[in-house]
Amino acid sequence: MEAPLLSSSKRNGSRVSEAQSLREFAKFVRAFGFGGLRPGTPLSLEDAKRLIQQYVDRYNNVRLHSAIGYVTPNDLLAGPQAKIHAERDRKLEAARLLRKSRRQQAA
């Protein structure tokens, strides 16, 4: 004798069998590519060292830090942060002037 399929209710009140729920879940997993391991999970000591080095490189060379004026730590240590801030100020002022002239033309 086979065990009966269990059923549950969806939010809209319709009944769904356990098999249908499992098929929908499997379709969801396939669609989003969820595997057994999370992406970036180290599989060995060397892999862990490589992932940590990638993180440190990104943290120091790419990521902008709000506590040091939205520059990277390497830019702060190398000294070009004043040049970076001056370039940002120039771009912001140019954008302000452009907005002001567009508002005047629209009026």
Three-state secondary structure along 44-94?
CHHHHHHHHHHHHHHHHHCCCEHHHCCECHHHHHHCCHHHHHHHHHHHHHH
Q: What is the DSSP string of 22-53?
A: HHHHHHHHHHHT--SS-TT---SHHHHHHHHH
Task: Tell me, yes or no, whether 52 and 76 share the same domain.
Answer: yes
Considering the entire predicted model, what is its pTM? 0.49
Task: Tell me, yes or no, whether 49 and 101 share the same domain.
Answer: yes
Amino acid 50 reads R
Total structural domains in the chain? 2
Structural domain span for residue 29: 1-36
Task: Tell me, yes or no, whether 69 and 102 share the same domain.
Answer: yes
Task: Tell me, yes or no, whether 11 and 54 share the same domain.
Answer: no
For residue range 55-106, what is the model confidence (pLDDT) as tens digits?
999 999 999 999 988 899 999 898 888 888 899 999 999 999 999 999 999 8
Task: Tell me, yes or no, whether 65 and 14 share the same domain.
Answer: no
Task: Tell me, yes or no, whether 50 and 95 share the same domain.
Answer: yes
Task: Tell me, yes or no, whether 84 and 32 share the same domain.
Answer: no
Q: What pLDDT is recorded for position 61?
A: 93
